A = this chain, B = another copy of it.
Amino acid sequence: MRDAVQVVVVGSIGLDTIETPEAKVADVLGGSCSYACAAASFFAPTGMVGVVGREDFGAEHRALYDRFGIDTAGLQVRAGRTFRWSGVYEQDMVNRRTLLTELNVFEHFSPDLPAAYRRASFLLLGNIAPELQLHVLDQAEGARFVAADTMNLWINTEREALMRLIGRVNLLTVNDEEARMLTDCHNLRRCAETIRAWGPDHVVIKKGEHGAMLFSGDGIFLAPAYPVERLYDPTGAGDCFAGACIGALAAQGAVDGGTLRHALLAGATVASFGVESFSLERLASLSRAEIDTRLERLRDMLRV
């Protein structure tokens, strides 16, 4: 029998076609839910809530989730094709252009939590429509700590629902641009103060290769990104970061200044492995010992 699910992640599951200056892959498993679950699974028993299409989601994709020991009781398989995204990265590996987005089965996604997931203590609401995030939150009766991610699309088009969501979560993750858009303010400290006043005890502002900033009641933590030697594909880095964060929090049991700081470094570490390949490839061969070694190196890079 599996361990009871401690971390539940809802988000998108997609088949991605990605081109970087150095390589290209087609139809590889991706989406915020895939990346975040894989990352969280290194730290705590993790269950996924997502939807895929029967036409193109195959045994090899499910086998990949199994490899991480991800609980797929909350994975819905529907008639049709899986969500698809296609994009091209520029030379700087930061800016990217979306070539195609096909919602497919994702268009009518109604996330439902299996009974066993409702007792999980840690919930990560990956970047999907705020109404869907709220719907999941309503079902998560046992959730003691709820983190949510969002994006510019929802800030622009679903602000009212997003504000209701923000008022109900413990931690919000946004990137710097989104933080500024959400609060109509440039200074990131002031952005974070504004968001914290709306409800969340903790705000994490992600800055990609420049790390992340955690704003909590007990101060600010400046988490660096691990300086990778070879950046292969940045897709999913933010989701790996968030997934490993919540997994590391669940593993530590308590959420406080110390465990949060540790969780952010764990997030940065797993994200740095994730970008060393396309899709979940590097994560699939990653060991906990490799994570711990790199995490210790990252700590050394902060030591004064």
Contact = CB atoms under 8 A, between A and B. Distances in A.
Interface of A: 91-93, 186-190, 207, 210-211, 213, 219-222, 224, 227-231, 258, 261-262, 265, 299-304
15 contacts: A187-B229, A187-B231, A189-B228, A189-B229, A190-B229, A210-B210, A210-B211, A211-B222, A211-B224, A219-B301, A221-B303, A222-B302, A224-B224, A258-B304, A261-B303
Most buried by B among A186, A224, A228, A299: A224
B187 A230 contact: yes
A266 to B, nearest CB: 10
A224 B189 CA distance: 14
Given A207-B210, A304-B302, A227 B261 contact: no
Given A222-B224, A222-B227, 12 more contacts: A187-B230, A207-B210, A211-B222, A221-B301, A221-B302, A221-B303, A222-B302, A224-B224, A258-B304, A261-B304, A265-B304, A299-B304
A261 B304 CA distance: 6
Contact of A301 (B91, B186, B220, B303): B220
A204 to B, nearest CB: 14
Contact of A262 (B93, B228, B302, B304): B304
A213 to B, nearest CB: 7
Most buried by B among A222, A230, A303: A222
Nearest to A302: B302
A122 to B, nearest CB: 20
A92 B186 contact: yes
A189 B209 CA distance: 12
Contacts of A219: 300-301
Contacts of A231: 187
Most buried by B among A187, A190, A262, A299: A187
Contacts of A261: 303-304
Contacts of A188: 227
Contacts of A228: 187, 189
- Closest 5 A-B residue pairs measured CB to CB? A210-B210, A222-B224, A222-B301, A261-B304, A220-B301
A211 B207 CA distance: 12
A241 to B, nearest CB: 16
A261 B221 CA distance: 18
Contacts of A230: 187
A229 B261 CA distance: 22
A276 to B, nearest CB: 12
Contacts of A304: 221, 258, 261-262, 265, 299, 302
